Amino acid sequence: MPRSLVIAAAQLGPVQRAHTREQVVQRMLVLLRDAAAMGAELVVFPELCLTTFFPRWLIEDEAELDAYYETRMPGPATQALFDEAKRLGVGLHLGYAELQHEGDRKRRFNAAMLVERDGRVASIYRKVHLPGHAEPEPWRRFQHLEKRYFEPGPGFTAVRAFGGVVGVAICNDRRWSETYRVLGLQGVELVLIGYNTPVHNPPAPEHDRLGDFHNHLVMQAGAYQNGTWVVGVAKAGVEEGCEMIGGSCIIAPTGEVVALCSTRDDELAVARCDLDLCNSYKRSVFDFAKHRQPHAYGLIVSRTGAIPPEQDRGSKS
Least distance to its own copies, CB of residue 250, Å: 17
Least distance to its own copies, CB of residue 9, Å: 20
Q: Does 1 bind its own copies (CB under 8 A)?
A: no
Q: Give the separation between CA 22 and CA 252, rounded to whole angstroms.
A: 34
Q: Does 187 bind its own copies (CB under 8 A)?
A: yes
Least distance to its own copies, CB of residue 198, Å: 12
Residues 19-58 binding its own copies (CB under 8 A) are none
Stretch (H or E) spanning 242:
strand 242-244
Q: With respect to its own copies, which residue has the nearer C-beta, 16 or 284?
A: 284
The single residue among 30, 67, 238, 300 that binds its own copies, judged by CB under 8 A, is 300
Whether residue 127 lies in the annotated active site:
yes
Residues 109-148 binding its own copies (CB under 8 A) are 113, 120-125, 128-131
Exposure pattern of 265-299 as b/e (b: 16+ CB <10 Å)? ebbbbbbebbbebbeebbeeebeeeeeeeeeeeee
Q: Give the separation between CA 72 and CA 60, rounded to whole angstroms.
A: 23
Whether residue 290 lies in the annotated active site:
no
Cβ pair 235, 274 in contact under 8 A: no
Residues 77-116 binding its own copies (CB under 8 A) are 113
Q: Does 293 bind its own copies (CB under 8 A)?
A: yes
The one-letter amino acid code at 171 reads C
Whether residue 171 lies in the annotated active site:
yes
The single residue among 19, 225, 274, 276 that binds its own copies, judged by CB under 8 A, is 225
Q: Give the separation between CA 180 and CA 11, rounded to whole angstroms.
A: 22
